[in-house]
Structure 1
Amino acid sequence: MDKSSRLIRIILADDHALVIEGLRSLIDQQRDMSVVATVEDGDQLLNFLEAANEDPSKPQVDVVVLDLQMPFSGLRALEELRKRGDSVRVLILTAFADGERIRAALELGADGFALKTESPTQTIDAIRQVAQGRLVFPRIARRWMTHQQNHTIALSPQLSPRELEVLAQLSEGLPNQEIGSVLSVSENTVRFHLKNIYEKLQVSNRTEAAAWYFKTYKKNI
């Protein structure tokens, strides 16, 4: 496998040139990452990803680092991506730990959050974890996942002990393969349990399932 095939391919979506240049410079220093494009608004992001999906010869994207406050907001772009069924991983990068935006991004299936006030090392680590299929939530996001009052998730689903074990590992950010390794079951078995969990919790993605777990079992975070 050549080096380029192992790179985490990233698109930066932010309307602040200083943020874009700072992130690009930081990512360019990493041996396992590459910025394939930068965009200034959600419309440009959607157009780029649509073109990439339609033409495999165009640069493909593994992770979108998405600002919420840019024109054609990041939330609208995230919503449209999920409606399309786009499987690209999305890391929300924001300067504001705004509870309503966090709630909305969680419900729309964001894969993680990083604050612009965090260290460069933390930001790079968040990108890597999201690229690996992990969920990344800083403390502020976990707090809102625990305490937000208007969530529509069922309060008392009948989860089996094994389903709770799977959900506990998912809430730690582990992808399916690693959950299977921890629990000594196959990845297909993990997928089967997750399907049942989603149905019982009345959720549609890993992020919402993790939100339910934090709210129900980790109230002291």
Structure 2
Amino acid sequence: MKILVVDDHPLVRKGVSSTLSFEEETEKIFEASNIQEAISLINSEKPELIIVDLYLGNEDGLEIVRRAKSKNSNAKFMVLTSSLKKEDFLRSEEVGVDGYILKEAFAEDILYAVRVVLRGKKFIDPEILKHQSSHSQKNNRLSELTPRENDVLVALGKGLSNQEIAEELFISEHTVKKHISNILSKLELSHRTQAALLVNEASNLYRECV
């Protein structure tokens, strides 16, 4: 089996190559640092597995996947990255990668992912799933808030004081305090700063998805 490792950091390439050398079926491991080198090796050596980093300096590693697939390459593709960003994971899914694993993974986990992908199955790093799940759980808890609690939460996200929230929503400070208490309880938070951070994070995630 031939494997191509594409990463713009030499030490990362050497580390991954060293890990892959323990795979019994590995015949040869090639290395590339950019798109041009990768495409050239794919055309000449026809590796069965291509492991790419998402960010190759100023280049997009997924462009390698797009180009190879456009030429009907039968190779399997794995992303090896440090990124936990939702948009990076979704971009990788869109181009049809077979695996997505973090660079922080243990060597044995990388080898396991390689074996899974080569058997024709998909592998996604459990940390990615856990990260995405945590965002979903937060959004589910947000959906439990009443419309007025949502108004107060948005005001918290703006950094308004209780008095300012009361004036903006035409309610008493006592009512504001009650809403904030309910918000913290439903969202399982301990203070208003956490609530403000949560609503701003949720807003950013929404903008990323639309």
Q: What TM-score do the two structures reach when normalised by structure 2?
A: 0.58
Query: Which residue matches 2:55?
Result: 69
Quick check: 1:38 aligned with 2:38?
no
Residue 128 of structure 1 pairs with residue 121 of structure 2: no
Cα distance change, pair 107–143 in 1 and its aligned pair in 2 (3 A): farther
1:84-123 map, 5 Å: 84-123=71-110
Going from structure 1 to structure 2, the CA distance change for 1:44 and 1:140 (only over 3 Å counts) comes to same
Instruction: Write the deviation string for residues 59-78 of structure 1: whole angstroms up to 9, x where unpaired.
Output: 33110011111143212221
Please report how far the alpha carbon of residue 142 of structure 1 lies from its aligned counterpart in structure 2 after TM superposition.
4.0
Instruction: Please list the CA deviations of residues 164-213 of structure 1 after superposition, one character each: whole Å capped at 9, or x if unmatched.
Output: xxxxxxxxxxxxxxxxxxxxxxxxxxxxxxxxxxxxxxxxxxxxxxxxxx
Question: Per the alignment, do residues 145 and 78 of structure 1 end up closer, same or farther by CA in structure 2, a change over 3 Å counting?
Answer: farther
Change (3 A) 1:83 1:141: farther
Bigger relative contact order, structure 1 or 2 (CA pairs below 8 A, ≥6 apart): 1
Give the Cα separation in 2 of the matches to 1:40 and 1:110.
19
Cα displacement (A) at 1:145:
7.8
Which residue of structure 2 aligns with residue 25 of structure 1?
18
Structure holding more helix per residue: 2
What do you get for the CA RMSD once the two structures are aligned?
2.4
Partner of 1:11: 4
Task: Decide whether the 8 Å contact of 1:103 with 1:144 is kept in 2.
Answer: no
Aligned length: 135
Distance 1:68 1:96, change over 3 A: same
More deviation, 106-115/75-84: 75-84
Taking only the aligned residue pairs, the percentage that are identical comes to 19
Structure 2: tracts of 5 or more residues without a match: 137-210
SS of 1:91 mapped into structure 2: strand
Q: What code does the residue aligned with 2:118 have?
A: A
**Unpaired stretches in structure 1, ≥5 consecutive residues:** 1-7, 52-58, 150-221
Q: Secondary structure at the match of 2:13?
A: helix
Q: Is the 8 A contact 2:86 2:132 kept in 1?
A: no
Paired with 2:96 and 2:128, the residues of 1 have a C-alpha distance of 13
TM-score (normalised: structure 1): 0.55
Indicate if the aligned counterparts of 2:50 and 2:76 stay in contact, CA closer than 8 A: yes
Distance 2:61 2:23 in 1: 25
**1:135-162 deviations in whole A, cap 9, x for unaligned?**
001235446888999xxxxxxxxxxxxx
Structure 1 residues 19 and 74: alpha-carbon distance in aligned structure 2, compared to 1, 3 A threshold: same
Q: What amino acid maps onto 1:86 in structure 2?
A: S
Q: 1:114 to 1:34 in 2, by over 3 A?
A: farther
**In structure 1, distance between residues paired with 2:7 and 2:52:** 7
1:83 shift after superposition = 2.2
Q: Partners of 2:131 and 2:16 in 1: how far apart?
A: 27
Instruction: Identify if the C-alpha distance between structure 1 residues 144 and 87 changes in structure 2 by more than 3 Å, giving closer, same or farther.
Output: farther
